[in-house]
């Protein structure tokens, strides 16, 4: 097999050089200054702009190098939809780019402004507009944990949460996330039915509001805020159980997989099952569960109280040891060891780790054996039970020792050849971080709701290709 090309594995959009017109940005700030009396904030200090122009892209050494210099020139923090419209109008009239930001918990530079301009931070829009046993409508800046607090009085909760649920916003999750806790039963955000609707604002000299539902909302889901400003989301709910968090010790990954497969096939309310090999169990202190001399693997499960005794019976049959059992909490939850929080904890122990995101084939054993044999101590397995396309599957977020871009590209190519679907966390465009193909509906939505191409420029490859074909908007991104 020929060595993989790092350039091909980690494409980066050609959107520069940045075409600054400082007067245009200053004019935007001046136009918005009167709104400060009603709560809108403008941040112009370089250190503030630099700090807010970051997310967790440093998990990727590739992106850490490429995005280090990218930052906004002005940060705008609205508190009402009307103020969002005013920002959109001011920027559209002066052709100043806008990059959307929630809480900045993304991992791929989704909220990093490649061409400067305005960073529009949505955390000030945090009203839960309505809640029932069936669905919730919340403004884009609502923290996910706050939404669940409102829903609890109705006996329900959100279907899907990232491991960053304490700080992440609902708008940021839909725009930049994909799945998480709950994906075992409910699949991923882009699966039909997981986002019911949204209210958006267009980026035009005279912005419009649209209420989008069903298929009309789908192109803005996981589009990194490139094709419309989401100001409110309507999401379905799931029954709220008395969830119990379990930390389980198993002898090795094979035994852990066998146990997890048996649990997921049962008619039990289980919303999280994840597996971690012995390297991760040793690195991430909370996974030790007091078993300091145990060199085995770990399983984290979140199960309903009524399922607990059945689960414990199967733990005994598989000679697995229950190290921790406690009611689901908000702070200090075992859920904050799952999904990409695992990567966070491992990198806190040793920043030489990076990671990949894979959907494993239906029979994952060959992938686990082959990559483990090839990478040795340079790989640590983290598996998440998910539903994909209606089927029970395993996602993997393996940790990898950073040995350069070419070595990482080779691992990625091997994984693909073994039947894995790769969701590349070392690139910045929507398409290259997904299935690698242009979604024409996303491009059409951008033409409709951001006709000048000002939203998060560079992140939607389909738009760049459409512009390059001579059909797109012409002229500099920033004008006077």
User: pLDDT tens for residues 416-448?
Assistant: 999 999 999 999 999 999 989 999 999 999 999
pLDDT digits (tens, 9 = 90+) for 206-231: 999 999 999 999 999 999 999 999 99
pLDDT category of residue 332 using cuts at 50, 70 and 90: confident
Q: Is the pLDDT of residue 132 over 80?
A: yes
Instruction: Give the model's pLDDT for residue 480.
Output: 34
Rounded to the nearest integer, the mean pLDDT of the chain is: 94
The 10 Å CB-count burial string (b at 16+, else e) for 195-218 is: bbbbbbbbbbeebeeeebeeeebb
> Would 432 be classed as within a structural domain?
no
Higher pLDDT, 156 or 467: 156
18 dihedral zone (left: phi>0; alpha: psi -120 to 50; beta): beta
Residue 17, preceding peptide bond in cis (omega within 30° of 0): yes
Helix (H, G, I), strand (E, B) or coil at 233: strand
> Contact 356/414 with Cβ under 8 angstroms?
no
Instruction: Give the model's pLDDT for residue 479.
Output: 37
> Would 474 be classed as within a structural domain?
no
Q: Do residues 251 and 204 share a domain?
A: no
Q: Do residues 274 and 211 share a domain?
A: no
Q: Do residues 278 and 398 share a domain?
A: yes
294 dihedral zone (left: phi>0; alpha: psi -120 to 50; beta): beta
The closest of 439, 441, 446 to 472, measured between CA atoms, is: 446
H or E element in which residue 272 lies: strand 270-276
Q: Is the pLDDT of residue 171 over 50?
A: yes
CA distances from 199 to 170, 195, 211, 212 (A): 13, 12, 5, 6
Q: Do residues 333 and 361 share a domain?
A: yes
Instruction: Give the model's pLDDT for residue 20.
Output: 55
Q: Is the pLDDT of residue 470 over 90?
A: no
Sheet architecture: strand order including 421-422: 321-327, 243-250, 297-304, 270-276, 382-388, 391-396, 358-359, 421-422
Q: Is the pLDDT of residue 107 over 70?
A: yes
Given 422, 448, 466, the domain boundary residue is 422
Instruction: Give the model's pLDDT for residue 473.
Output: 56
Q: Do residues 228 and 256 share a domain?
A: no
Q: Is the pTM of this model over 0.85?
A: yes
Measured distance CA(134)–CA(329) in Å, rounded: 23
Q: Do residues 215 and 260 share a domain?
A: no
What are the contacts of 207-216 at 24+ separation with CB within 8 A?
207/85, 207/88, 207/89, 207/92, 209/81, 209/85, 210/449
> Would 205 be classed as within a structural domain?
yes
Domain count, the chain: 2
pLDDT category of residue 14 using cuts at 50, 70 and 90: confident
Measured distance CA(387)–CA(368) in Å, rounded: 19
Instruction: Give the model's pLDDT for residue 362.
Output: 96
Mean pLDDT of the region 169-174 = 98
Q: Do residues 311 and 365 share a domain?
A: yes
Q: Do residues 145 and 205 share a domain?
A: yes
pLDDT category of residue 476 using cuts at 50, 70 and 90: very low
Instruction: Give the model's pLDDT for residue 293.
Output: 57
**What is the pairing mode between strands 74-77 and 118-121?**
parallel
> Would 457 be classed as within a structural domain?
no
Given 192, 215, 239, the domain boundary residue is 239
Structure tokens at 95: 């052709």
Instruction: Give the model's pLDDT for residue 27.
Output: 97
> Contact 287/277 with Cβ under 8 angstroms?
no
Least confident of 292-296, 321-325, 399-403: 292-296
> Would 374 be classed as within a structural domain?
yes
> Would 56 be classed as within a structural domain?
no
CA distances from 202 to 24, 25, 74, 91, 258 (A): 20, 19, 20, 11, 50
Residue 414 makes CB contacts below 8 A (sequence gap 6+) with 370, 371, 374
Q: Do residues 134 and 204 share a domain?
A: yes
Q: Do residues 199 and 138 share a domain?
A: yes
User: Domain range spanning residue 225?
Assistant: 128-239
Instruction: Give the model's pLDDT for residue 105.
Output: 95
> Would 156 be classed as within a structural domain?
yes
Measured distance CA(50)–CA(249) in Å, rounded: 42
Q: Do residues 234 and 247 share a domain?
A: no
Q: What is the CATH number of the domain that holds 353?
A: 3.40.462.40
Q: What is the CATH number of the domain that holds 214?
A: 3.30.465.10
> Can you spell out the DSSP letters for 310-328?
HHHHHHHHTT-EEEEEEE-
> Contact 428/109 with Cβ under 8 angstroms?
yes
Q: Is the pLDDT of residue 109 over 90?
A: yes
> Contact 310/138 with Cβ under 8 angstroms?
no
Residue holding tokens 């871009």?
A: 405
Instruction: Give the model's pLDDT for residue 292.
Output: 60
Q: Is the pLDDT of residue 472 over 80?
A: no
> Would 479 be classed as within a structural domain?
no
Given 216, 239, 262, the domain boundary residue is 239
Residue holding tokens 């990059």?
A: 99
pLDDT digits (tens, 9 = 90+) for 70-91: 999 999 999 999 999 999 999 9
Q: Do residues 318 and 229 share a domain?
A: no
Q: Is the pLDDT of residue 308 over 60?
A: yes
pLDDT category of residue 110 using cuts at 50, 70 and 90: very high
């Amino acid at each position: 097999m020929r060595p993989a090309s790092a350039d091909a594995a980690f494409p980066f959009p050609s959107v520069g050089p940045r075409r600054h017109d400082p007067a245009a940005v200053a004019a935007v700030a001046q136009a918005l200054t009167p709104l400060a009396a009603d709560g809108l904030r403008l941040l112009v200090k370089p250190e503030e702009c630099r700090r807010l122009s970051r997310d967790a892209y440093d998990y990727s050494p590739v992106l850490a190098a490429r995005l280090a210099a990218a930052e906004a020139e002005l940060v705008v923090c609205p508190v009402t939809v009307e103020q969002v419209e005013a920002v959109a109008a001011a920027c559209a009239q002066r052709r100043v780019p806008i990059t959307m930001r929630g809480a900045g918990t993304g991992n791929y530079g989704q909220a990093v402004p490649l061409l400067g301009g305005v960073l529009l931070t949505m955390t000030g829009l945090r009203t839960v507009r309505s809640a029932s046993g069936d669905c919730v409508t919340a403004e884009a800046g609502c923290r996910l944990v706050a939404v669940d607090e409102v829903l609890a009085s109705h006996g329900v909760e959100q279907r899907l949460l990232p491991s960053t649920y304490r700080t992440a916003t609902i708008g940021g999750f839909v725009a930049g996330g994909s799945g998480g806790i709950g994906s075992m039963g409910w699949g991923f955000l882009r699966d039909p039915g997981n986002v019911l609707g949204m209210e958006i604002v267009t980026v035009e000299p005279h912005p419009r509001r649209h209420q989008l539902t069903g298929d009309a909302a789908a192109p803005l889901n996981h589009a990194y805020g490139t094709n419309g400003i989401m100001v409110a989301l309507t999401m379905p709910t799931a029954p709220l159980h008395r969830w119990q968090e379990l930390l389980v010790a198993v002898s090795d990954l094979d035994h852990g997989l066998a146990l997890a497969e048996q649990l997921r096939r049962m008619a039990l309310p289980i919303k999280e099952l994840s597996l971690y090999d012995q390297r991760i169990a040793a690195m991430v202190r909370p996974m030790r569960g007091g078993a300091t001399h145990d060199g085995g693997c770990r399983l984290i499960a979140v199960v309903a109280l009524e399922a607990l005794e059945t689960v414990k019976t199967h733990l005994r049959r598989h000679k697995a040891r229950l190290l921790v059992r406690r009611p689901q909490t908000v702070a200090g939850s075992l859920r904050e060891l799952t999904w990409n929080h695992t990567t966070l904890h491992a990198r806190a122990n040793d920043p030489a780790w990076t990671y990949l995101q894979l959907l494993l084939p239906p029979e994952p054993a060959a992938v686990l054996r082959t990559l483990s044999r090839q990478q040795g101590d340079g790989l640590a397995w983290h598996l998440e039970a998910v539903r994909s396309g209606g089927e029970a599957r395993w996602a993997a977020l393996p940790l990898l020792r950073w040995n350069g871009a070419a070595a990482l590209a080779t691992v990625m190519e091997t994984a693909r050849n073994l039947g894995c679907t790769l969701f590349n966390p070392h690139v910045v465009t929507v398409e290259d971080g997904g299935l690698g193909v242009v979604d024409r509906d996303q491009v059409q939505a951008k033409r409709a709701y951001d006709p000048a191409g000002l939203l998060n420029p560079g992140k939607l490859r389909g738009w760049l290709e459409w512009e390059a074909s001579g059909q797109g908007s012409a002229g500099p991104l920033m004008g006077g």
